[in-house]
């Protein structure tokens, strides 16, 4: 999925806090939004869907982070837990998208996301055919609803910005390989 989908997913993860612990909701949402975008920084350094995507190892961090947040609850420990949880969800979610090829709609890549302990790539499931596909944009819109209606302030503003990015990205997605070939692996 495109980064906006993962960022919106972070807000969905935080949404229960608007009812359960409203004073923590914005912190949790912002941490989960950051964790949602973080793995995709490997578009710029290393190998995309490998260098910062850890579908197994992030969970190994999530569990102690949960214990730490439970024993020593503070803004930092709670934010850290939701950051890593969101990054873990992102890394697994990309498995259900297309491959990490330059033009994923051609469906020639069998590289969805790298599983480091196995030392191999998972083949793409293509429930979302490629990042920025119409179904990916629909997913972003649906997952953005809590950010728009349950939150206010920076979380709502960021959600609007992320939606704008998603619409523009989906509109130009098929021209990205020509516009920005450096994004290719
Ligand atoms: Zn990703």
State residue 180's pLDDT score: 73
CA of residue 94 to ligand 1 center, whole Å: 6
Nearest to 94 by CA among 175, 3, 27: 3
Judged by DSSP in three states, 118 sits in coil
CA of residue 143 to ligand 1 center, whole Å: 16
Rounded Cα distance between 86 and 11, Å, is 9
Provide the mean pLDDT of the chain: 95
State residue 24's pLDDT score: 96
List, for residues 3-35, the tens digit of each pLDDT value: 999 999 999 999 999 999 999 999 999 999 999
Q: pLDDT-based confidence at 185, cuts 50/70/90?
A: very low
CA of residue 1 to ligand 1 center, whole Å: 6
CA of residue 17 to ligand 1 center, whole Å: 25
State residue 23's pLDDT score: 96
> In which element (H, E) is residue 160 found?
helix 153-172
Nearest to 129 by CA among 112, 114, 116, 141: 112
Is it the case that residue 62 has pLDDT exceeding 90? yes
Share of the chain above pLDDT 90, in %: 94
List, for residues 67-116, the tens digit of each pLDDT value: 999 999 999 999 999 999 999 999 999 999 999 998 999 999 999 999 99
Average pLDDT over residues 53-77: 97
CA of residue 53 to ligand 1 center, whole Å: 7
CA of residue 171 to ligand 1 center, whole Å: 19
State residue 179's pLDDT score: 80
Judged by DSSP in three states, 121 sits in strand
Rounded Cα distance between 58 and 176, Å, is 29
Whole-Å CA distances, 29 to 35, 81, 116, 171, 175: 10, 12, 28, 27, 32
CA of residue 54 to ligand 1 center, whole Å: 10
Rounded Cα distance between 175 and 183, Å, is 12
CA of residue 146 to ligand 1 center, whole Å: 22
CA of residue 71 to ligand 1 center, whole Å: 31
Average pLDDT over residues 39-60: 96
CA of residue 91 to ligand 1 center, whole Å: 6
Nearest to 124 by CA among 95, 91, 100: 95
State residue 18's pLDDT score: 96
CA of residue 72 to ligand 1 center, whole Å: 31
Is it the case that residue 56 has pLDDT exceeding 60? yes
Quickly tell me which residue has 């920005």 as its tokens. Answer: 180
Rounded to 10°, the helix 57-71/75-93 angle is: 160
What is the sign of the dihedral through the CA atoms of 24, 75, 146 and 154?
positive
> In which element (H, E) is residue 28 found?
helix 22-37
Higher per-residue pLDDT: 15 or 184: 15
Is it the case that residue 121 has pLDDT exceeding 90? yes
Half-sphere exposure of 3 (CA within 13 A, CB side): 17
CA of residue 36 to ligand 1 center, whole Å: 9
CA of residue 144 to ligand 1 center, whole Å: 18
Is it the case that residue 138 has pLDDT exceeding 60? yes
């Amino acid at each position: 999925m495109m980064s906006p989908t993962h960022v919106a997913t972070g807000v969905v993860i935080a949404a229960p806090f608007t009812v359960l612990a409203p004073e923590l909701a914005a912190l949790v949402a912002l941490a989960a939004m950051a964790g949602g975008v973080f793995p995709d920084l490997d578009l710029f350094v290393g190998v995309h869907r490998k260098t910062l995507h850890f579908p197994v190892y992030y969970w190994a961090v999530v569990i102690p982070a949960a214990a730490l947040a439970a024993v020593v609850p503070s803004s930092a420990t709670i934010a850290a837990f939701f950051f890593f949880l969101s990054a873990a969800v992102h890394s697994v979610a990309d498995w259900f998208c297309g491959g990490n090829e330059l033009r994923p709609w051609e469906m020639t890549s069998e590289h969805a996301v790298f599983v480091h302990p196995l030392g191999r790539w998972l083949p793409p499931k293509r429930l979302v055919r490629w990042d920025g596909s119409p179904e990916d944009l629909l997913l972003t819109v649906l997952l953005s609803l809590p950010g728009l209606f349950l939150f206010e302030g920076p979380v709502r503003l960021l959600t609007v910005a992320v939606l704008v990015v998603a619409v523009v990205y989906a509109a130009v997605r098929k021209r990205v390989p020509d516009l920005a070939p450096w994004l290719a692996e």
